[in-house]
A and B are shown apart, each in its own frame.
Chain A
Amino acid sequence: MFTNLINTFVLAWQYTLSHADEFILALREHLFLVTISMIVGILVCVPLGIWTARSKRIATAALNTVNTLRVIPSLAILFLLIPYLGLSSTSALIALIVLALPPILINTDAAFRGISPAILEAARGMGMKPQQILFQIEFPLAAPVILTGIRIAAVEVIASATLAAFVGSGGLGIYITRGFALYDYSILFVGAVPVALLTLFSEGIISGAQKLIQYPQ
């Protein structure tokens, strides 16, 4: 069993070396999908979360919407999009963005909502302008919780970007589908192991950033 596993890793490594160009392209495609969907997710959800934290009505509407989107499996979203967008990376990106939205939005909303009213009253009472309060007080206080949301989203998106292979957008998922089709675990590992490493890497980076900005509580 154990020797089998080692063997599979060795075969996967050899396969990677013999398909080096293809592997690097797949890795780049994967990183492209992840980066774009995370950037869009952050650009949409952080401002939206700030807004929802200030209004209960908007919060209910927005959070319910993303939560509804979240229960649809990403694979289902992909197939639903194919009739409209075809087999394209746009379909894959949309499915991934839908996945990235909820954790970022929910955490941004909670982070801003969680800031003590006394702190905000002190800031206002001292004569800070709304913009100064937002950037000098609220953002730094909310940042650790927002980063947690980004971390959760990144982990999900990195793993789910493998689905892009189903709509021909490449990414490390091609090795998973190929390995599956050929019933060859070593090929499957060529996709799965780098995905796992990418996940750990992004967790590490974001946790490090969180430690940097964390203030004593």
Chain B
Amino acid sequence: MQGIVFDKVSKQYKNAAAPAVNQVSFTVDPGSLVVLLGPSGCGKTTLLKMVNRLFEPSEGTIYLDGVNIRDMEVTALRRQIGYVIQQVGLFPHMTVAENIALIPSLLKWEKPRIQSRVDELLTLIHLDPLEYRDRYPAQLSGGQQQRVGLARALAGDPNVLLMDEPFGAIDAITRASLQQEVMQLQNQLQKTVLFVTHDVEEALLLADKIAILKEGALVQYDTPWNLLTNPADEFVRELINADDRIRQLTVLKAKDVMIKPSHHEQVLKKVQQRTDLRQVLSLLLSSPNAVVAVTDSSGKVVGEISLQQLVLE
């Protein structure tokens, strides 16, 4: 069994009346990004931190790629899991390169391999290695620090990434660009990601599947689209504002609703197959004939969308 499996996991803190996490079971498929979503105190961070054993479950078992994580040495387990936290937690006395090199050197990689890995990762997160390698964390902006935090988590080439509200302390504009970057990276790297947030838009944007938690219990675990169209209960409906049609459009892609092209393509505005329907709607509203063309990655027109395709069900 690959991926992360939670099997009836509970966490009871001492002196707490109710368990922080209560009998949670679900599976994170390998290569997928799962968001843990819920209000403060719903147990999402506790659940996340049990995966790298910063907390130990009171009951239940977590399996990583089929192995009970309690059977692994705790430091060995953590070195194969990338960990990104809201406060970033870069080491202020180490340069950017030294921060990123930490896990590879704990894993006893050869020096040249570490160096090329550092440059590779800096390039991946769009920071010029020559310019940023030798800077200290205090010499970076908040957004740059979290990029380095992400690079540091990826350094040991882990299969699993845990992200605990990574963009919670970052301004809206930078957050949007970091979210785009995470999506891009995820397309490229296909890690198994567990991502905690209380930002519904962020969850809908990034998640392959969302686990909604309430008072420690798993309320619903499904794809963004299914959550929006089939919320399990009133709590989920209200939390994600499921009836909002615009919000539903954000989780659908152009390729999901496009029809065969019939118009002369030259006159149409174009969108990619992966463009979300909210953007398509915005474009439609500003197109004279209210039709846009959908192109594949080579730029060839493969479909079209008019307002009619957005009025569904």
Contacts and interface: CB of A to CB of B under 8 A. Distances in A.
Given A140-B93, A216-B136, A216-B138, A125 B87 contact: no
Interface in A136-160: 137, 140-141
A57 interface: no
A103 B85 CA distance: 35
Contact of A215 (B75, B92, B103, B106): B92
| Most B Cβ at <10 Å: residue of A119, A127, A129 | A127
B130 interface: no
A118 B88 contact: yes
A126 B152 CA distance: 9
Chain A interface SS verdict (over half): helix
A121 B88 CA distance: 10
Interface stretch (B76-84, B216-224, B286-294): B76-84
A123 interface: yes
A126 B92 contact: no
Given A125-B54, A127-B106, A119 B92 contact: yes
A128 to B, nearest CB: 7
Contacts of A137: 91
A129 B138 contact: no
B296 to A, nearest CB: 41
Contacts, number: 65
Contacts of B94: 215
A127 B75 contact: yes
Contacts of A125: 52, 54, 78, 83, 85, 162
Interface in A81-139: 116, 118-119, 121-129, 132, 137
A210 to B, nearest CB: 13
Interface size class of B (residues with CB under 8 A): 20 to 34
Interface string B105-136: 01000000000000000000000000000001
A14 B36 CA distance: 82
B103 to A, nearest CB: 6
B89 interface: yes
Contacts of A116: 87, 89
B79 to A, nearest CB: 4
B139 interface: yes
A126 B83 contact: yes
Interface string B199-217: 0000000000000000000
B106 A132 contact: yes
B182 interface: no
A124 B81 CA distance: 12
A127 B103 contact: yes
A127 B76 contact: yes
Given A125-B54, A127-B78, A127-B103, A216 B139 contact: yes
A124 B85 CA distance: 12
A217 B92 contact: yes
Contacts of B90: 119, 122
| Most A Cβ at <10 Å: residue of B87, B138, B152 | B87
Contacts of B91: 119, 122-123, 137, 141
Given A119-B92, A122-B89, 20 more contacts: A118-B85, A118-B87, A118-B88, A119-B89, A119-B91, A122-B83, A124-B54, A124-B78, A125-B78, A125-B85, A126-B79, A126-B102, A126-B103, A128-B75, A128-B102, A129-B75, A140-B93, A215-B92, A215-B136, A216-B92
